[in-house]
Chain A
Amino acid sequence: MFNTKMPMRDMFGKALLELGSKNSDVVVLTADLTDAIKTTLFSKAFPDRFFQMGIKESDMVGTAAGMAIDGLIPFVTTFAAFATSLANQSVRVSMGYNEANVKLTSSHGGICVGGDGATHQSFEDIALMRLIPGMTIVVPCDANEAYNATFSVAKYIGPVYLRLGRIPTPVITKLDDRFEIGHAKVLREGNDIAIVANGMMVAFALEAADALASDGIQARVINMHTVKPLDISVLKSAVDECSAIVTAEEHTIIGGLGGAVSEYIGSYNPIPIERVGVKDTFGESGWPDEILKKYGLTANDIANSARRVLTRKIGRSFS
């Protein structure tokens, strides 16, 4: 369906380089993963503002907090598992509680990291970050959105978690699309059901919507790129107008986008909902396509969930 694929982290690296020349307060920190998070361009162009911290993520986040407290705009970069879980105490207190203007940026967020396996797959990172008061969480859906989000994140004042994936994923947005933190995008109209997705699952959500359309089901597709704060107005319209929701994310169904949307629906208006995502389990080694299939994160899984939710909404079978 989408011909061009590109890793989000590549465009993050490009945006960072441009940011560096526009704003001399922007600094970048790495923990021995320069090329993995694509900060190489920045490091070469602005060696004075690039800090190699070695393999010590807690120290890196704490150092960045100090820089932010003193007025700089640090982008802290490492794998999602280490940014949010290993360094969690530094993120919680030095960054979060201090309201330090740190931009915690991860690559390898999600389940598609390849053969490295469970320890390197991070699909609880968004939940961990949601638990920190005042944290803004941005999950771009493709490389172009990652590019645009990087500028918004830099401009925004306050702690941010910017979550990027490892592998090349379908490019579905354009470079000149507008991106605003906290403002979700309706990518496809429809009133039978709403699919609320983020990250690379947005592409699968659009594919699922196509499949559903051939069965006469009109699905609204929402790109909820900001998980915190959620765009309540877009979500409320989806609940009011579609009365059935499926969430889709490359994350555990506990505590991430699906969790956040369920919490909202639970207190606003409990309509039928299903969450597509990783179940309560650790991951394993394997190629992305095999893994997505095994863990139930395909367009097909979204479409099947949609049919089940519609059955609950209308009371007749759609499968």
Chain B
Amino acid sequence: MIRRRFNGTVDVLQLKDFATQLRRDSLRMVHHAGAGHIGGSLGLADFMAVLYGYAMEFDTENPDYINRDRIILSNGHTCPPWYAALARTGSIPLDELASFRKLGSRLQGHPARKSLPDFVETSSGPLGQGFSVANGIALSQRLKGNKTRVYCIIGDGESQEGQVWEAALTAAHYNLGSLTLFVNDNGLQIDGSTSEVMNVEPLDMKFASFGWNTRVIDGNDIESIVRELENIDPNQGKPTVIVGKTLMGKGVSFMENRSAWHGSWPDAEQLKTALREIGNSRYYTDFSITEAENV
């Protein structure tokens, strides 16, 4: 089934419900894997929910669908909500989520084009690389005359990499209006707060001086995300950056705004508490983890 770009009326409640489920799925995935990066993942769930639940055009049956919008997760460590969104929209089997990070899984610890070529446009993990590839795809799409959108996601810590700013030059220089960059700007990275580690703010002014359209929004607010994405005019010849102020660990009190949760995962007790705080979604049920797998 083809899901159209910005199709129909927005059902904010449903998108919120979707985000809730992406959070539940992410928490259960990293817990079951015994490793992973839950902090940034929880903060990204709302943007993912809007992309897959409303903004992006794609065909659930035909991943090669020519008019599909592209997504590049440059900060690949935050892949759990992405994998969950792929599963929840029927692109990959739901129960496959239980294989995250396991030997032989398509759901590698960092997204791998080699194992999931239908959806992963570029392998990521080493920070700073995905953005350039996103530019390349957008340039190629324009050359082919396709009116697709390209969404690239980076982290605030990631934006310390020089390559991010090389890519920022490219997108502006080539007037890549079809490109939208989302900064998962949670103010934290591994060693602490981004401002203390190596300050990158004000990100919006940096991008503005590079010739970009810039927006600063609450990156965990579904309505703001919807509004800003709808407002983008791909024909005006400028790339757009949405600096999304997010919370690391969003939705789980003991994880929120703590860099220690960048690369951690909940144990059984913590998972229970976390899932209770996130709450249940109305439309979805949790994916199953078989006992055999759970050892």
Q: Do A and B come from one complex?
A: yes
Q: Which residues of A contact B (CB under 8 A)?
A: 30, 32-36, 52-56, 58-59, 81-82, 86, 114-120, 282, 284-287, 290-291, 294
From the candidates A81, A117, A287, name the one contacting B108 in the complex (CB within 8 A). Answer: A117
**Residues A55 and B110 in contact in the complex (CB < 8 Å), given A114-B35, A115-B35, A290-B103:** no
Name the interface residues of B166-224: CB closer than 8 Å to any CB of A.
Answer: 189-191, 196-198
Most buried by B among A52, A282, A285, A291: A285
A116 to B33 alpha-carbon distance, docked (Å): 11
Tell me which residues across on chain A come within 8 A of B33, comparing CB atoms.
Answer: 115
CB nearest neighbor in B for A289: B103
Partner pick for B101 among A53, A54, A82, A115, CB 8 A cutoff: A115
CB-contact partner of A86 in B101, B105, B112, B126, under 8 A: B126
Q: Contact between A117 and B126 (Cβ–Cβ < 8 Å)?
A: no
Q: Collect the chain A residues with CB atoms within 8 Å of residue B127's CB.
A: 55
Chain A facing B: main interface SS: loop
Q: A36-B190, A86-B126, A284-B103 in contact; A116/B110 too (CB < 8 A)? A: yes
- Assess whether B53 is interfacial by the CB under 8 Å rule: no
Q: A56-B162, A119-B126, A286-B103 are in contact. Are A32 and B110 (CB under 8 A)?
A: no
Chain B window 95-132, contacts with chain A (Cβ cutoff 8 Å), 1 for yes, 0 for no:
00000011111001110101100000001111110000
Give the number of residues in B that approach A within 8 Å (Cβ atoms): 33
Residue pairs across A and B with Cβ atoms less than 8 A apart, 21 shown, are: A30-B191, A32-B190, A33-B190, A33-B191, A34-B190, A34-B191, A35-B191, A52-B191, A52-B198, A53-B198, A55-B127, A55-B160, A56-B160, A115-B101, A115-B109, A116-B35, A116-B110, A119-B76, A119-B126, A282-B114, A286-B103
A52 touches B125 (CB 8 A): no
Count A-B pairs with CB separation below 8 Å.
94
Residue of B nearest to A36 (CB): B190
Report the separation of the CA atoms of residues A154 and B233 in the bound assembly, to the nearest whole angstrom. 56
Determine the chain A residues whose CB is within 8 A of the CB of B123 once the complex forms.
118-119
In the complex the two chains form, what is the Cα distance from A116 to B79 in whole Å? 11
Pair A294/B189 contact, Cβ less than 8 Å:
no
Distance to closest chain A CB from B113 (angstroms): 10
B76 touches A294 (CB 8 A): no
- Give bound CA distance, A294 to B102, whole Å: 13
B190 and A285 contacting across the interface, CB-CB below 8 Å: no
Whether A117 pairs with B191 at a CB distance below 8 angstroms is no
Does A287 lie within 8 Å of B103, measured CB to CB? yes
Residues of A within 8 A of B108 (CB): 117-118, 284-285
B157 at the interface (CB under 8 A from A): yes
Contact A56–B198 (Cβ < 8 Å): yes
| B18-41 CB contacts (< 8 Å) to partner A | 33-36
